[in-house]
Chain A
Amino acid sequence: MADIQLPDALLVKNYVEGDENALTVLINRHQSKIFGFIYSKISDRDISNDIFQDTFIKVIKTLKSKSYNEEGKFLPWVMRIAHNLIIDHYRKNKKMPMFRETEEFSIFSIMSDDSLTIENKIIREQVEIDLKKLIEELPADQKEVLIMRMYQDMSFKEISEITGVSINTALGRMRYALMNIRKVIDKHQIILTN
């Protein structure tokens, strides 16, 4: 059988006149290019299938309503419809492209975990232990104010009420507590870091 390839324009004309097979030929002829184009922008097979379907629904409606007037430019016309539907898709989804895990692409390359690593957790725990030891060395009145302020999150007003001293005295004790801790750290060259 002779492999006669009818031009797109003729197939479109035949389809508009009622030849349903012409549409089958047009879809078979251009499906790879159109689907490949959609997939290159969407990277999701299911959504690409949906957009491909919507594209051809528009094509069918336009041709059946005899509104098509771009003879000879069938493929670029269909591509333009697909392109517009792709833009609509991203608009609807608030321009957030969806990522799917593939062999070449790992979702973890764009995600980060802000929590501490095991190593950093251990360092942090060690720092807290060292700091507590330093606090234990402080004079009782300074230690009391510092613990209330830093560990119990109390205001200086509350501290002054509980300890029975003025706010200024509480502030002063806190200041001396910090100064003394810094002194010990400098003296013994303690490194507290994370």
Chain B
Amino acid sequence: MAKIYSKKALAIPTMKPKKETISFLLNYSKALSIIKGKTMSFEVMAN
């Protein structure tokens, strides 16, 4: 019978950013709107 030489890859824990970071980014995105003018753009943050 053929031997299997390949080893099962060791489990690498998935690296994820903090939930708070994701939450901040989603809220930041919702609050931010960018108004583009002819030569410049303005960032508006909704409270």
Interfacial chain A residues near B21, Cβ < 8 Å: 49, 52-53
CB-based nearest A residue for B43: A61
Chain A residues with CB under 8 A of B26? 20, 23-24, 27
CB-CB under 8 A from A64, the residues of chain B are 29, 32-34
B15 touches A36 (CB 8 A): yes
Cβ-defined contact, A32 with B32, below 8 A: no
Q: How many residues of A contact B (CB 8 A)?
A: 20
Given A24-B26, A53-B25, A57-B28; A65-B18 close (CB under 8 Å): no
| B16 with A60: CB separation less than 8 A | no
Q: Mark A9-47, 1 if CB is under 8 A from B, else 0.
A: 000000000001001100100011001100100000000
Contact among B14, B15, B34 with A61 in the assembled complex (CB-CB below 8 Å): B34
CB < 8 Å neighbour of A56 from B25, B34, B36, B41: B25
In angstroms, how far is the closest chain A Cβ from the Cβ of B31? 10
Chain B residues in contact with chain A, CB under 8 A?
A: 14-18, 21-22, 24-26, 28-30, 32-34, 36, 41, 43
Per CB-CB distance, the 9 closest pairs between chain A and chain B, nearest first, are: A36-B15, A65-B34, A64-B34, A52-B17, A35-B17, A56-B25, A32-B14, A60-B29, A35-B15
